[in-house]
Amino acid sequence: MGCDCNIYLQRDVLSHDVMNVLGILLGYEKIQESFDNSSKFDHVVVKYVSYGYGDRDRHKIFANAGFSSPEHFTIELLENPLDKEWHMLHCHFQPEYLLLSGGSSNFWKTVGTELVKFFGGHIDYNDCDSVGTNFSASCPRTGGNRHEDNPAFHSFQEELWALKPIKKLRDFFL
């Protein structure tokens, strides 16, 4: 078993929000859409992000259902704009957090740090070393990551719209 970059996000994070933020950070186009086909902005849609399972034909970011238990699923990233590579992220629902595990690479260290900045949590760049937390951040939203009422949902959509893609992978010493 190799060394992983472990990303610990707050437990109130929704998996489709993680996929949307991944899509934006990687540079996929985002679109303002309306629920009622009017001209007003209701929510962000990220091009090539699948909201179903295993939709490889039209999407570049999608989830695969749990292999051994419902607490586990994977997110696959196909030929993303940032590094043009395929990546897989193992996701585990834990009592205190959502654990995302990718290989200990510059890609996951850079992307994971940005996920932690957006959602709150902490990141361990290399689970084989003696350092348990390399970067941490509190959730920037006072009500947490759940957006169950209209004002919180709209505010979250505005944050998605304002989020900028990563321009370049950080150079971490591996």
Average pLDDT over residues 160-174: 84
- What is the per-residue pLDDT for 162? 96
Do residues 153 and 141 make contact, with C-beta atoms less than 8 angstroms apart? no
Specify the residue for token string 């939203």: 141
Cα distance between residue 174 and residue 172, in whole Å: 6
Does a structural domain hold residue 122?
A: yes
Does a structural domain hold residue 174?
A: no
Does a structural domain hold residue 171?
A: no
- The residue among 73 and 116 whose pLDDT is bigger is 116
Does a structural domain hold residue 95?
A: yes
Count of alpha carbons within 13 angstroms of residue 14, beta-carbon side? 11
Does a structural domain hold residue 130?
A: yes
Number of folded domains in the chain?
A: 1
Q: Which two tokens stand for residue 173?
A: 């010493």
| 166 has a pLDDT exceeding 90 | yes
pLDDT tens-digit profile of 10-66?
A: 999 988 899 999 999 999 999 888 888 777 788 898 988 886 655 566 678 878 776
pTM of the model: 0.90
